[in-house]
Structure formats: C-alpha cells, structure tokens
Amino acid sequence: MKILWAFLALVAPCLGACQLPTNIATKNVDSLRSAQDTCLRENVAQFDDRTSDARQVGRFVAMSCTVQTEKLVQYAVPYATRQEYAAFQSDAAARAAGYVVSSRGAAS
C-alpha cells in the first residue's frame, strides 16, 4: 500500500503538468479567435452599404480577414484539409453576417 501511495505522490504532479500544454494551446486558440473576431467587427463598416444581403456582406468581410482565419486554422488544425479550411471560412462568414445584422440594428 505504501508503494501505491508513493507512486501516486510521484505521478500526480506529472499529470497536472500534462495539462499545461493543453491550457496554453486553448489560450492561443482563444487569442487567435479573438483577433479574427476583432477583424470581422472592424471591417463590417467598410463593406456594408446597408442595402445588400447581410450574408453576402458577411462573406466579403470574412474574405478581408483571411489572414486571421488562416492563422487560426493553422494553429487549431495544423494539417487542415480543404473541407476543414472551408468550414472555418464559412464560420467566419456566418459570424461576420451576424455582426452586419447587429451593426444595422444599432444604427437604426
């Protein structure tokens, strides 16, 4: 029984340390996602003419933030397939469309 406790005492700190890279990775992904969101929000005014379809404007806004999206994809999915990249781009366009709708509502 003493051997088991000694083993657990040695292994427990290692298990906690194993979580550290995951926590750092999560913070990095969150930081990259935040940078992408900032880009999306800041570029809405540049592309929104207030008459075009919000989804179309969202696609243009998302394309203007391709650099941030690519950084996010490369970090989150290092060897992303075309479908995975397209999913990230589609998500960015959908979120940008939401920002377009929000900005139009705030301006009214």
Can you give the pLDDT of all 108 residues of the chain as single tens digits? 656 455 445 545 554 544 445 666 778 889 999 999 999 999 999 999 999 999 999 999 999 999 999 999 999 888 999 999 999 999 999 999 999 999 998 876
**pTM for the whole thing?**
0.75
- Largest interatomic CA distance in the chain: 74
What are the C-alpha distances in Å from 55 to residues 25, 48, 67, 96, 101?
31, 11, 20, 8, 9
